[in-house]
Structure 1
Amino acid sequence: MRLFAPLYERALRWARHRHAPRYLAALSFAESSFFPVPPDVMLAPMALANPQQAWRLAWLTTWTSVLGGLAGYLIGWLAMASIEPWLLASRYAAPYQQAMTWFQTWGVWAVFIAGFSPIPYKVFTIAAGALAMPLLPFTLASLVGRGARFFLVAALMRWGGARMEPLLRRHIDRIGWAVVAVVAVGATLTYALR
Structure 2
Amino acid sequence: MVKRLYNWVLHWADTKYGLPALCAISFVESSFFPIPPDVLLIALCMGAPKRAFKFVFYCALFSVLGGILGYYIGYALYEEVGRRIIEFFHYQEAYAYVGKLYGDNAFLAILTAGFTPLPYKVFTIAAGVFHEQVGLMTLITASALGRTGRFLLVGAAIYFFGPPVKRLLDKYLEIFCVIFMVLLIGSFFIVKWLAK
TM-score class, shorter-chain normalisation, is 0.7 to 0.9
Q: Percent identity?
A: 34
Partner of 1:186: none
Residue 53 of structure 1 aligns with an amino acid whose one-letter code is: R
Q: Do residues 52 (structure 1) and 53 (structure 2) align?
A: no
RCO higher in 1 or 2 (8 Å CA, sep ≥ 6)?
A: 1
Deviation (angstroms), 1:85: 5.1
What secondary structure is seen at the aligned counterpart in 1 of 2:115? coil
Q: Is the 8 A contact 1:32 1:65 kept in 2?
A: yes
1:152-171 matched pairs, under 5 angstroms: 152-162=153-163, 164=165, 168=167
Q: Is the 8 A contact 1:87 1:93 kept in 2?
A: no
Runs of 4+ in structure 1 over 6 Å off = none
Judged with a 3 Å threshold, the aligned counterparts in structure 2 of structure 1 residues 85 and 114 are, in CA distance, closer, same or farther, namely: closer
* Distance in 2, Cα, partners of 1:156 & 1:50: 13
RMSD of aligned Cα (Å): 2.6
Provide, for residues 62-110 of structure 1, a one-character-per-residue CA deviation record: whole Å limited to 9, x for no partner: 0000000000000000012334654564411122122212212222211
Residue 105 of structure 2 aligns with an amino acid whose one-letter code is: W
Q: Do residues 124 (structure 1) and 117 (structure 2) align?
A: no
Partner of 2:59: 61
* Distance in 2, Cα, partners of 1:119 & 1:95: 9
Partner of 2:107: 108
What secondary structure is seen at the aligned counterpart in 1 of 2:34? coil
1:67-146 matched pairs, under 5 angstroms: 67-83=65-81, 86=84, 89-90=87-88, 91-132=90-131, 133-146=134-147
Provide, for residues 153-192 of structure 1, a one-character-per-residue CA deviation record: whole Å limited to 9, x for no partner: 1111112224556xx3xx898x2xx679x6xxxxxxxxxx
What secondary structure is seen at the aligned counterpart in 2 of 1:33? coil
Judged with a 3 Å threshold, the aligned counterparts in structure 2 of structure 1 residues 150 and 85 are, in CA distance, closer, same or farther, namely: closer
Unaligned runs of 5+ in 1: 183-194
Residue 59 of structure 1 aligns with an amino acid whose one-letter code is: F
Deviation (angstroms), 1:119: 2.2
Deviation (angstroms), 1:118: 2.8
Judged with a 3 Å threshold, the aligned counterparts in structure 2 of structure 1 residues 62 and 106 are, in CA distance, closer, same or farther, namely: same
Residue 44 of structure 1 aligns with an amino acid whose one-letter code is: I
TM-score, normalization by structure 1:
0.76
What secondary structure is seen at the aligned counterpart in 2 of 1:118? coil
Q: Is the 8 A contact 1:48 1:160 kept in 2?
A: no
TM-score, normalization by structure 2:
0.75
Residue 139 of structure 1 aligns with an amino acid whose one-letter code is: I
Residue 138 of structure 2 aligns with an amino acid whose one-letter code is: P
- Number of aligned residue pairs: give it: 167
* Distance in 2, Cα, partners of 1:84 & 1:66: 18
Residue 64 of structure 1 aligns with an amino acid whose one-letter code is: F
